[in-house]
Amino acid sequence: MRYSQARRPCRAPLQAQAVGHPCAPANFGRWLLGLTLLVALPIHAQDTGSAASEFYGKGVAITVIVHDGSGQPISSSAMVSLLRNGTTPAGQASTNGGRAELVVAGDLGDFTLVVAAAGYTSTQKDLVINNSGKEQVDIYLRALSTNSAVAPGRPVLAPKAKKAVDEGLQALSADNLAEAKKQAERAMRLAPGHPDVLYLQGVVLLKQRDWTGAQGVLEKATQVDPAHANAFAALGMALCDEGKFETAVAPLEKALQLNPASSWDTRWTLARAYYQQARYDQALAMSQTALSVSRGKAPEIELLVAQSLTAVGRYEDAAQTLRGFLRDHSDRREAATARRWLENLGANGKIHPR
């Protein structure tokens, strides 16, 4: 599910007792870009060291060395994917002699490397990249047991189509919808059934607020590639935007199952979907996790935490959460809502006066 951008996942949440009627704090643009809300969007990944030379000084050149169980560079091909904030594609490359090169030319921060190879368990590693220059990361794969079924590889994307997908995602990260649409159309002509192409097309439709169209394309992407975590996350957000909160839960849960390191945006969206279904205990647990994982990037999640606390009858805890938000974020637009909810709790006798 900063594209990490897709977003305004859920509109018009339910009224939570004394807290009142909350409004959905995020929109698709925030998910898609910020997810920085969803946004540090994907950047080009290169298969050779020439990319590192070209961009060196402007970003980070990441050399990934994939090892097999013996510790030697893997002899077979492995696919290395880089995700920004755990969910937004930021580059992809195949290994050559166990080595792959990726280039981060956009905003730095939190990333996750995911490595997959036939006959090995998929492995991921979290990275924090704060400085430009060069980085080397070693990944060690564990072979599947002889009794394990080897999952079929993902459909191969031809170089020209891959270039269109990468450039389309880059355009989305730069909020250049016209260019993203152009590249998505180009990719669709070259590889109309590839899940990555369908994902790009779906995100473009989300950006255009065509929720129904996005749902159809993203559903197809998840059918073609049942392991496409980002497509499941984006599908869940599209369903939320359509007001199909109950239906949105399954793909959002699937996205987290496929990628436990999914960003806080996916978790936040799922928490809102739970809340809309009056599944308040789950909404509380998921929103608290989203708030923790966000590391301060989206303090407005605290309002959903307060809503959920109120819904389960923990009024004093809800009040404490709202007071903390007002203390630390009084300059944000959500502060007026937090103040009103806190006043309502007091007026309704739910909390002790202070």
**Closest by alpha carbon to 91, among 157, 44, 138, 154?**
44
Q: Are β-strands 88-94 and 99-104 bridged in parallel, bridged antiparallel, or unpaired?
A: unpaired
236-286: pLDDT as tens digits:
999 999 999 999 999 999 999 998 877 788 999 999 999 999 999 999 999
Q: What's residue 30's pLDDT?
A: 39
**Which residue ranges form the domains of the chain, and what is each CATH number?**
17-40+158-347 (1.25.40.10), 50-140 (2.60.40.10)
pLDDT(232) > 70: yes
47-80: pLDDT as tens digits:
333 333 343 345 788 889 988 765 678 888 888 8
pLDDT band at 38 (very low <50, low <70, confident <90, very high): very low
Q: What's residue 43's pLDDT?
A: 33
CA dihedral 339, 344, 350, 352 (to 10 degrees): 50
How confident is the model over 134-150, as a mean pLDDT? Answer: 64
CA–CA dist 246, 289 (Å, integer): 20
pLDDT(168) > 80: yes
Instruction: Tell me the pTM.
Output: 0.58
Going across the sheet that includes 60-67, the strands are 99-104, 60-67, 133-140
**Contact, 206 vs 237, CB < 8 A?**
yes
